[in-house]
Structure 1
């Protein structure tokens, strides 16, 4: 329940630094001995006082049960409304106590998932990451449009991210407008609200390409076999990604090199806002299997698990996944999530390794 949660307003860069440090340590911890927190009904008070015009901050959704230092409800500054008490954490805020990170874009009130709301936390992650890494964000009906002119061929970086119900006609009109204004070579949207499948079906009837993505989740309990995989600099994975994209996009002709370069080059953007760990298996020094683990507080996400076709059947995917889960557990994560195409075999592979489908999102796209 939202009433059981505490919140901390923070700049995205400060949150990324906290992920590396293991805890949020704002200047107030040294100056007055505590970290300023808020309850959901009062977070607007410090936001208006300290950041009245900013819409690029994020809210850390904190589970009080995961805090080891005491929290006291005390008066705020004299200018705060009389009689209102604010939670003060007398110690650093562990990143493992943060169950979700959501963009704060007033006057909208973002959903705040409870610690045990697995689907809510998964949706919060997949709705939040595109916004935090975007070069630009614009409000649209049902959510936002994320933009990055540096990677125009990446639909993940240039699309609508919709978390509230919107009808198919509005999505199409909004995507048309954004594509025209931003010069997108496509129209694309992620539909992240419950029951979005009906609208996705209507868009399919209008000629859109539609894909259902299962949101799958499990705990971070380790699996055996991770010792065969290693953590590497992301640049070591680029050749494997390039081979994979070239195999997946054989019909692009003269555009192929530029598109592949953008799809590979965009990946460093994730590490600016979440803690990214690239996990690989090598054969004779060559990376032949890889996956990416993205840690965002107590929630981690597995992404981009793939193996070179000639190296398949040797358990390398298992090794990558096992090492990723071990890293997540070591970072204090209690939840690991991923997206898997509803109509493809990897969903069954993940299910055999403990991941359960907890909901769906929909990816829709069409040439501009």
Structure 2
């Protein structure tokens, strides 16, 4: 977390993530310091079936708790929103065989750009390009797994007051890049998620068009806190920094097959 970032601003982002996750879920199971989110319609999607720790919790008990809550699934997956809590959980979770990784939380602090050329689309417009992208990103994923990763976007409509799917298009009308925009104008928070460019359209400015459109729409809706997540070990976070995003914290992810 950068020293210039107020704790309250990071808390707003964490609260948004927790609230979105809870509303998106088909069902939840609470425990002290967090909850498990499930959606049997997308059972192979870890983004829809996991444990989320959004408060103080018993770190020593967490591995067994995740095992118990996710006993019906072939994988274990847990998120910890607070960095201090995650640090305490790291030892017990690692001892229990969990792999640890993080995603950066990046808040937009640069000038609000002019609206790019992207526009809102429905799920049908994204189905084919998103399927192709998952075959490229996760070639080991079977057909059922890819199906869940593609179709789970429908569940995201429950997560926030305003959920938009944005896309930029190539010269022949093909979908070139896309992203989700989740907004809660009442709290002034918006998240940009799953920004992806089709492989045939890399380096043509489509991702920038989608990102600029999302930032402008969020700003116009009164969302003064605009954020996204990025892997620290991949290049996009440096591109996001050039687009006016700064790192304000991180989310920990614990996984075990």
What is the TM-score normalised by the length of structure 1? Answer: 0.63
**CA shift in 2, pair 1:281/1:344, >3 Å:** same
Structure 1 residue runs of 5 or longer lacking an equivalent are 1-114
Query: Separation in 1 of the partners of 2:219 and 2:111?
Result: 7
2:152 aligned partner: 266
Query: Separation in 2 of the partners of 1:117 and 1:160?
Result: 24
1:126 aligned partner: 17
Could you tell me how far 1:165 is from its partner in structure 2?
3.3
Aligned 8 A contact 1:279 1:292 in 2: yes
User: 3-state SS of the aligned residue for 2:83?
Assistant: coil
Query: Separation in 1 of the partners of 2:173 and 2:80?
Result: 41
1:356 aligned partner: 246
Which residue, 339, 345, 349 being the options, matches 2:235?
345
1:291 aligned partner: 179
2:219 pairs with 1:333 = no
Aligned 8 A contact 1:222 1:329 in 2: yes
Superposed CA deviations along residues 116-148 of structure 1, whole A, max 9, x for unmatched, are 821011100111111112111111232111111
Structure 2 residue runs of 5 or longer lacking an equivalent are 1-5
**CA shift in 2, pair 1:148/1:356, >3 Å:** same
CA RMSD of aligned residues (A): 1.9
Could you tell me how far 1:205 is from its partner in structure 2?
4.7
Query: Separation in 2 of the partners of 1:215 and 1:240?
Result: 26
Write out the 4+ residue segments of structure 1 that deviate beyond 4 Å after TM superposition.
Answer: none
**CA shift in 2, pair 1:223/1:200, >3 Å:** farther
User: 3-state SS of the aligned residue for 2:152?
Assistant: helix
Which residue, 153, 163, 180 being the options, matches 1:276?
163
Structure of higher RCO (CA pairs closer than 8 Å, 6+ residues apart): 2
Structure showing greater radius of gyration is 1
What is the TM-score normalised by the length of structure 2? Answer: 0.89
Aligned 8 A contact 2:116 2:208 in 1: no
Could you tell me how far 1:200 is from its partner in structure 2?
5.3
The residue correspondences of 1:179-198 to structure 2 (distance < 5 A) are: 179-180=70-71, 183-198=72-87
2:67 aligned partner: 176
Query: Separation in 2 of the partners of 1:273 and 1:267?
Result: 10
2:29 aligned partner: 138
Could you tell me how far 1:342 is from its partner in structure 2?
1.8
Could you tell me how far 1:164 is from its partner in structure 2?
2.1
User: 3-state SS of the aligned residue for 1:196?
Assistant: helix
Aligned 8 A contact 1:221 1:325 in 2: no
Aligned residues: 247
